[in-house]
Structure 1
C-alpha cells in the first residue's frame, strides 16, 4: 500500500527582520546575494505551509517544500511516533550564513551550510513510479547558479527512507560547494549515541582529536556543554541515536565511497541548553546527527562546468535500539539519476525582476524593461545569473534618459561586487549619486581598500537621514571613523547622541567600543554587563571587546558573561565556503 498526499498545514511562523538595505557583499554576517536577518519577532503569525507526504504500511514521511524542502516528520505508523524533533514553530535564530537557522526535521544543505533557503519555498514535485513513491525538491540557487535536487523515496516494503541528492553545474565556471544532511532529534538525558569507534575531531571551546570508543555507552547526560564531533576514520559507516524514555530513535547508513561524512552535534545538559530552546516553542533540547559527502564542515570541493555530483543515504527509524554494526546497506532500485528533475530559479520576489530583465535583454526589447527594484527592497542581482552583467549594462543604457538609470548602474556595481570584481564595482559606484551607492561604496572602501578617509567621504555624501541613522549604516560608519583614529571621537559622540534611546544590540555594542576608545573602561564594562544581547553562534566581537576591557583594567583572567550572547566555541567550520564567488 502506497499513499501520496499533499495539503497546507497551518504553522506558527516568527517573522524575521532584515539587517538593513546594504547588499551582503563583504558582510561578516551574511552571504551574497541573500539578505541577512537581524532579529526574530517574539509573537508569531499563522501561515499555511505546503506539505507533501509519502507513506507505506510502516512509515509516513512528510516533506515541507516551503521550508527549503526539508523533511518535516518521519512517523512510525505502528506507534504513531515522529522520530524527528518538532520545534513546534518556525522560529529562526542567528547562525550563518543568513542568521536565520531553524531546527527540527532533516535539512539538506547546498552549496553552503546551513542551507540559505531554510525559510524559503523551493520547487517540488511527487509521483509514483512502479512500486515506489518519490518526492523531489530543489531549485537553481542564486549564489553560483547551480542546480540542486534532493529526492526522498519510499518503496512498498521499505522500513527506511532513501534520500538521494544531485548537484549540477550548468555555468561556465567551477564553483566550490559543500553539503550536509542534518537530522534533529529530541534529546533527553538518557539519549544514547550509537556512533563508530575511531578518531574524531571534537569541536568545543578547543579543537582536538579524541578517540571515540564505540564499545562504551555515551548518553546526553555525559556532556555538559555544546560541542560537535566529526569522525575521521570510523570503523563502520552506520550511526544514530536512540532515546529510551521516548521509545524512538533514528539511524543513518550510506556507502562511505559516496557519503563518508559523519557528525554529531549536541548542546549537552546545563549552561548551553538555552541555545537549543531559542529555536523552539518549548524548552526542549535536541541533538543533530549529520552526514555528508565531505569529511568535515571545514571542507569543500569544486564542481566543474557541466559537472554532476550524486550521493545516496538512508535513514532508518526505530522504536528499539539498533546495533550499528549489524545494519546492512540497503539497495533499492531507484529511477536513473537522469530522471531526477533539475529545477529552475525559484519564484521569489527577489528573483522576479532579474528574470524579467534577462527576458527583456534576451529579446532586445526595451519596452519590456522592468522597473528597477527600490534600493530599500533588499532585492539584489543574483551573482549566479551569469548574463546579468550584460543585461544590467544594457538596462542602464536603455534607461539613460529615465530617472531610474542610476539605479541600474548601481545594481551593475552590486552584481560585480558579488562576483568579487571589487575594483570595477568601486569605479562604477563612484559614478552613481545615490544614497544606496554611497552606503555600499563606504563599506567596500573600508573593507577591501582599507581607505578609511575615502570611506568616510562616501558616508558623508549620504543625504537621507533615514539612511544615515539606520543602525546598519550607523554601525558601519562608526567602524570607519574608529579606523581613522582618536581624532574622530567627538564626531562619533555626536552621532550617538542622535540614537541614544535605541536599544539595538549593534548600537549598544558600538557604544561600548566608543567608551573603550575614550578610556572610560568601567562605563564600557557596565554597558556590556547591563544589556541583554541576543544570541549569535560563532561570532565573538563582544567577547573580544570584553577581554580587551579587562586586559586594560589589569584583569585578564575573567569569565565572559552569558548576557553577551556569544558562544564559547573555538572558531571552526566553513558556513559560507568563500567570501565571494569565484571570478
Structure 2
C-alpha cells in the first residue's frame, strides 16, 4: 500500500523584519544576495503552506516545499507517534546565514550551513515509480547558480526513509559548498544519545578534542549547557537518539565513503534551554542529530564546472532503542540518478525581474526590459546568474539618460560587488548619483578599502532623511565615524539625538559604544544592562563591548549577562563558505 497526498496546511507564521535597503555584500550578518533579518514578530499570521506526504503501511512522511523542502514530520503509524520535533509554528531566530533559522523537522542545507531558503518556497515534484514513492524538492540557488535537489523516497515495505541529495554546478566557475542534514528531535532529561565511540571535536565555550566512550551511557541530563560534537574517527557509522519517556527515537545510517560527517547539537538542561524555546510555540527543548558529506561544519569543498555530487542517507524511526552496531545499511533500488530532476530558479519576487532582464538581453529588444526594482525593495541581482552583469550593463546603456539608466547602473554595481569584483563595483558606484549607491559605496569604502574619509563623504551625500535615519544606514555611518576617531564624537552625538526614542538593538549597541568612547563607561554599562536585546547565535559584538566597558572600569573576571542576547560559544563553524562568491 503506497499513498501520495498533497494539501495546504494552515500554520502559524511569525513574519521577519528585513535588516534594511543596503545589499548584503560585505555584511557580517547576511549572505548575498539574500535579504537578512533583524527581528521576528511576536504575534504570528495564519498562512497555508504546501505539504506533500508519502506513506506505506508503516510510515507517513510529510515534506513542506514552502519551507525550503524540509521534512515536516515522520509518523510511525502503528504507534501514532511523531518522531520529529514539532515547533508548533514557523518562528525564525537570529543565526547565520540569513538570521532566520527555524527548528523542527529535517533540514537539508546547500551550499552553506543552515539553508538560506528555510523560509522560502522551492520547487517540488512527487510521483510513484514502480513500488516506490518519491518527492523531489530543490531549486537553482541564487548565490552561485548551482542546482540542488533532495529526494525523499519510500518503498512499499520500507520501515526507513531514504534521502538522496544531488548537487550540480552548471556554471563556468568552481564554487565552494557544504551540506548537512539536520534532524530536530524533542528533548527530555532521559533522552539517550546513541553515538559512535571515538575522538570528537567538542564545540562549547571552548573548542577541544575529547572522546566519546562506548562504555558510557549518555543522556541529556548529563549536559548543563549548549554544545556540539563532531565525530573525527567514529567506530561505526550509525547513530541516533531515543527518549524512553516519549517511547520513540530516530536513527541514521549512511555509507561513510559518501556521508562521513556526524554531529550532535544540544542545549542541555539549565541556563541555555531558553535558547531552544525561541524557535517554538511552547517551552520545549530539542536536540539536533546531523549528518553530512563533510566531517566538520568548518569544512567545505569545491564543485567544479559541470561537476555533480550525490550522496544517500537513511533515517530509521523506532519505538524502541536500537543498537547502532547492529544496524545494517539498507540497499533500496532507486531510480537512476539521471532521472532526478534538476530544478530551475524558484519563482520568487526577488528573481522575476532579473530573469526578465536576461530574457530582454537575450532577445536584444530593450522594449522588453522590466521596470527596475525600487532600491528599497531588497530585490538584488543574484550573483549566481552569470550573464546578469552584462545584461545590466546593456540595460543601463539602452536606458541612456532616462530615469531608469542610473538605477540599472546601480544594480550592475551591486552585482559586481556580489560576485567579488569590488574595484569595478566601486568605480561604477562613484558615477551613480543615487542614495542607494551612496549607501553601498559607504560600506565598500569602509570594509574593502578602509578609506573612512571617503566612506563618510558617501554617507554625507545621501539626501533622503528617511534613508539617513534608517537604523541600518545609521549604524553603518556610525561605524565609519567611529573608525575615524574621537574628532567625530560631537557629530555622532548629534545623530543619536534624532533617534533617541527608538528601541532598536543595533542602535542601543552603537549608543553604548559611543558612551564608552566619550569616557562614560558606567553609562554605557547601564544602557546595555537595561536594554532588552534579542538573542543571536555566534555573534559577540555586545560581549566584546561589555568586556571593554569593564576594562575601562578597572574590573576583571567579569561575567557576561544573559540579557545581552549573545551565546558563550567559542567562535567556530563556516556558516558561510566564503564572504563573496568565487
Per-residue deviation at 1:532? 1.3
Render the CA deviation track for 1:74-115: whole Å, top value 9, x for unaligned: 000001111000000000000000000000000000000110
Report the RMSD for the aligned CA atoms in angstroms.
Answer: 0.4
Residue 170 of structure 2 corresponds to which residue in structure 1? Answer: 170
Does residue 183 of the first structure (1) align with residue 179 of the second (2)? no
CA distance in 2, matches of 1:129, 1:484: 65
Render the CA deviation track for 1:417-440: whole Å, top value 9, x for unaligned: 001110000000000000000000
Q: Is the 8 A contact 1:176 1:300 kept in 2?
A: yes
CA distance in 2, matches of 1:147, 1:441: 32
- Listed as ranges, the gaps of 5+ residues in structure 2 are none
CA distance in 2, matches of 1:397, 1:530: 53
Q: Is the 8 A contact 1:139 1:149 kept in 2?
A: yes
SS in 1 for 2:100: coil
Q: Is the 8 A contact 1:231 1:261 kept in 2?
A: yes
Does residue 414 of the first structure (1) align with residue 445 of the second (2)? no
Per-residue deviation at 1:214? 2.1
Does residue 35 of the first structure (1) align with residue 35 of the second (2)? yes
Per-residue deviation at 1:466? 0.3
Q: Is the 8 A contact 1:194 1:214 kept in 2?
A: no
Residue 331 of structure 2 corresponds to which residue in structure 1? Answer: 331
Per-residue deviation at 1:534? 0.3
Render the CA deviation track for 1:288-309: whole Å, top value 9, x for unaligned: 0000000000000000000000
CA distance in 1, matches of 2:243, 2:43: 32
Render the CA deviation track for 1:479-528: whole Å, top value 9, x for unaligned: 00000000000000000000001010000000000000000010001000
CA distance in 1, matches of 2:422, 2:390: 17
Residue 550 of structure 1 corresponds to which residue in structure 2? Answer: 550
Per-residue deviation at 1:215? 2.3
CA distance in 2, matches of 1:579, 1:368: 34
Residue 299 of structure 2 corresponds to which residue in structure 1? Answer: 299
CA distance in 2, matches of 1:14, 1:174: 37
CA distance in 2, matches of 1:219, 1:526: 40
Residue 319 of structure 1 corresponds to which residue in structure 2? Answer: 319
SS in 2 for 1:549: helix
SS in 2 for 1:536: coil
Residue 218 of structure 1 corresponds to which residue in structure 2? Answer: 218
Does residue 508 of the first structure (1) align with residue 511 of the second (2)? no
The aligned runs of 1:181-330 (5 Å cut-off) are: 181-330=181-330
Residue 429 of structure 1 corresponds to which residue in structure 2? Answer: 429
SS in 2 for 1:512: helix
CA distance in 2, matches of 1:387, 1:249: 48
Per-residue deviation at 1:362? 0.4
Residue 62 of structure 2 corresponds to which residue in structure 1? Answer: 62
SS in 1 for 2:183: strand
Does residue 348 of the first structure (1) align with residue 348 of the second (2)? yes
Residue 131 of structure 1 corresponds to which residue in structure 2? Answer: 131
The aligned runs of 1:2-21 (5 Å cut-off) are: 2-21=2-21
- Listed as ranges, the gaps of 5+ residues in structure 1 are none
Residue 80 of structure 1 corresponds to which residue in structure 2? Answer: 80
Residue 478 of structure 2 corresponds to which residue in structure 1? Answer: 478
CA distance in 2, matches of 1:336, 1:372: 42
Per-residue deviation at 1:402? 1.5
**TM-score, structure 1 normalization:** 1.00
SS in 1 for 2:48: strand
Render the CA deviation track for 1:34-78: whole Å, top value 9, x for unaligned: 000010000000000000000000000000000000000000000
Residue 568 of structure 1 corresponds to which residue in structure 2? Answer: 568
SS in 2 for 1:103: coil
The aligned runs of 1:110-129 (5 Å cut-off) are: 110-129=110-129
The aligned runs of 1:341-420 (5 Å cut-off) are: 341-420=341-420
Residue 529 of structure 1 corresponds to which residue in structure 2? Answer: 529
Per-residue deviation at 1:404? 1.1
SS in 1 for 2:449: coil
Render the CA deviation track for 1:314-359: whole Å, top value 9, x for unaligned: 0000000000000000000000000000000000000000000000
Does residue 90 of the first structure (1) align with residue 90 of the second (2)? yes
CA distance in 1, matches of 2:402, 2:353: 18
SS in 2 for 1:113: coil
CA distance in 2, matches of 1:532, 1:390: 46
Render the CA deviation track for 1:361-416: whole Å, top value 9, x for unaligned: 00111110100000000000000000001100000011113211100000000000
CA distance in 1, matches of 2:577, 2:552: 36
Per-residue deviation at 1:556? 1.8
Residue 541 of structure 1 corresponds to which residue in structure 2? Answer: 541
CA distance in 2, matches of 1:443, 1:496: 20
Per-residue deviation at 1:561? 0.3
SS in 1 for 2:348: coil
Q: Structure 1 segments of 4 or more deviating over 3 A? A: none
CA distance in 2, matches of 1:68, 1:529: 37
Per-residue deviation at 1:216? 1.3
| Count of residue pairs the alignment pairs up | 582
CA distance in 2, matches of 1:77, 1:399: 61
Per-residue deviation at 1:552? 1.3
CA distance in 1, matches of 2:198, 2:296: 15
**TM-score, structure 2 normalization:** 1.00
CA distance in 2, matches of 1:564, 1:160: 43
CA distance in 1, matches of 2:383, 2:569: 32
SS in 2 for 1:448: helix
CA distance in 2, matches of 1:411, 1:52: 37
SS in 2 for 1:360: helix
CA distance in 2, matches of 1:383, 1:310: 24
